A and B are shown apart, each in its own frame.
Chain A
Amino acid sequence: MTTHLLPRTFSLFSLLVAVSIGRTAEPAPFPKEAQAFLAKHCLACHGEKVQKAAVAFHTYRDEAVLLKDRKLWQRTLAVLASGEMPPPARKQPVPAETAAFTRAVTAVFERADRNAKPDPGRVTVRRLNRTEYNNTIRDLVGVDFQPAEDFPSDDVGHGFDNIGDVLTLSPVLMERYLAAAESVMARAITVDPPKPPQRHLSAMYTEPAAANVPLRNGYRVVTNKAGGSHVETGPIHTSYQVPAEGEYRFRCRVYAEGDGPVPVSILACGKTLPRPASDDAIGKLSGQSVTGLKPFVLVATVDVKARTAKDAQTIEVTVPANLGLTRMAVAMHRPSAGGKPATLFLQSLALEGPLDTRPLSQLKLLACAPGKTRAEQTREVMERFASRAYRRPATRDEVDRLVALVERTTARGERWEAAVQLAMQAVLVSPKFLFRVELDDRPQEPKPHPIDDYQLASRLSYFLWSSMPDQELFDLAAKRQLAAQAPAQVRRMLRDPRAKALVDNFAMQWLQLRRLRTHAADPQLFPRFNEHLRTAMLRETELFFGEIVREDRSALDLIDGKYTYLNGHLARHYGIRDTAGNSHGERKPRPGGQPIGEEFVRVALPDGGPRGGLLTQASVLTVTSNPTRTSPVKRGRWVLEQLLGTPPPPPPPNVPELAEGAKAQLTGTLRQRMEQHRLNPACASCHAKMDALGFAFENFDAVGAWRTTDGTFPIDPSGTLPGGRSFKGPAELKAILREQKDLFARCLTEKLLTYALGRGLEYYDRPAVDAIVATLANNDYRFSVLATEIATSMPFRMRRGKDQTE
Chain B
Amino acid sequence: MIPLVSRRTVLRGLGAAVALPWLEIMGPVASWAAAGNGIARAPNRLAVLYVPNGKNMADWTPTREGAGFALTPILEPLRPVQDELLVLTNLTADKARPHGDGGGDHARALAAFLTGAQPRKTDGTDIRAGVSVDQVAAARLADQTRLPSLEIGCEHGAMAGNCDSGYSCVYSSTMSWRSATQPLPKEVNPKLVFERLFGGDRDASRSRRDQTRQSILDFVRDDSLDLSRKLGATDRRKLDEYFSSLRDLELRIARAAKLPPVQAPAGLKVTGIPSAYQDHVRLMCDLMVLAFQADITRVCTFVLANEGSNRPYREINVPEGHHDLSHHGNDPSKKAKIRDINRFHVSQLAYLLTKLKAIREGDGTLLDHCMIAYGSGNSDGNAHNHEELPILVAGRGCGTLKTGRHVKFPKETPLTNLWVSLLDRMRVQVDRLGDSTGALTGLGG
Contacts and interface: CB of A to CB of B under 8 A. Distances in A.
Interface string B80-107: 0000000000000000001010111100
Interface string B152-191: 0000111111110110111001100010001111110100
Contacts of A152: 185-187
B192 A650 contact: no
Nearest to B183: A168
B102 A84 contact: yes
Contacts of B151: 172
Given A124-B235, A171-B249, A172-B196, A626 B216 contact: no
B319 to A, nearest CB: 4
A651 B314 CA distance: 29
Nearest to B320: A628
B127 A165 contact: yes
Contact of A82 (B102, B192, B384): B102
A760 B123 contact: yes
A522 B126 contact: no
B3 interface: no
Given A155-B170, A515-B159, A651-B103, A429 B220 contact: yes
Interface residues of B, number: 82
B217 to A, nearest CB: 8
Contacts of A508: 160
A649 interface: yes
B183 to A, nearest CB: 6
Contacts of B329: 657-658, 664-666
Contacts of A343: none
Contacts of B314: 522-523
B178 A518 contact: no
A284 to B, nearest CB: 60
A165 B158 CA distance: 17
A156 B158 contact: yes
Contact of B169 (A155, A650, A666, A805): A155
B216 A425 contact: yes
B336 to A, nearest CB: 12
B241 A169 contact: yes
B220 A125 contact: no
A129 to B, nearest CB: 12
A508 B241 CA distance: 29
Contacts of B166: 650
Majority SS of interface residues in chain A? loop
Scoring A155, A181, A515 by chain B CB atoms within 10 A of each residue's CB, the highest score goes to A155
A511 B280 CA distance: 29
Interface string B131-168: 00000000000000000000100001111111101101
A304 B314 CA distance: 79
Contact of A170 (B156, B184, B212, B216): B184
B37 interface: no
B189 A430 contact: no
Interface stretch (B15-23, B54-62, B222-230, B409-417): B222-230
Nearest to B324: A626
B159 A514 contact: yes
A524 interface: yes
Contacts of B123: 157-159, 760
Contacts of A53: 100
B100 to A, nearest CB: 6
B38 interface: no
A265 interface: no
B103 A662 contact: no
Nearest to A654: B383
A382 B138 CA distance: 39
Contact of A124 (B163, B238, B310): B238
Contacts of B168: 155-158, 166
Contacts of A182: 209
Contacts of B437: none
Given A82-B103, A156-B169, A157-B168, A435 B330 contact: no
A753 B369 CA distance: 53
Interface in A549-585: none
B235 to A, nearest CB: 4
A171 B245 contact: yes
A164 B238 CA distance: 9
A424 B272 CA distance: 30
A751 B247 CA distance: 37
Contacts of B184: 170, 172
A782 interface: no
B124 A166 contact: yes
A654 to B, nearest CB: 6
A171 B383 CA distance: 37
Interface string A495-515: 000000000000011001111
Contacts of B178: 170
A515 B306 CA distance: 14
Contact of B223 (A122, A181, A401, A443): A401
Contacts of A150: 189, 192
Given A155-B170, A157-B124, A174-B249, 4 more contacts: A156-B160, A156-B168, A156-B169, A626-B320
24 contacts: A53-B100, A125-B238, A155-B157, A155-B185, A156-B124, A156-B170, A157-B168, A158-B162, A159-B123, A165-B126, A172-B185, A173-B185, A175-B196, A179-B200, A401-B219, A422-B215, A432-B227, A522-B312, A627-B319, A627-B321, A649-B103, A650-B165, A664-B330, A666-B331
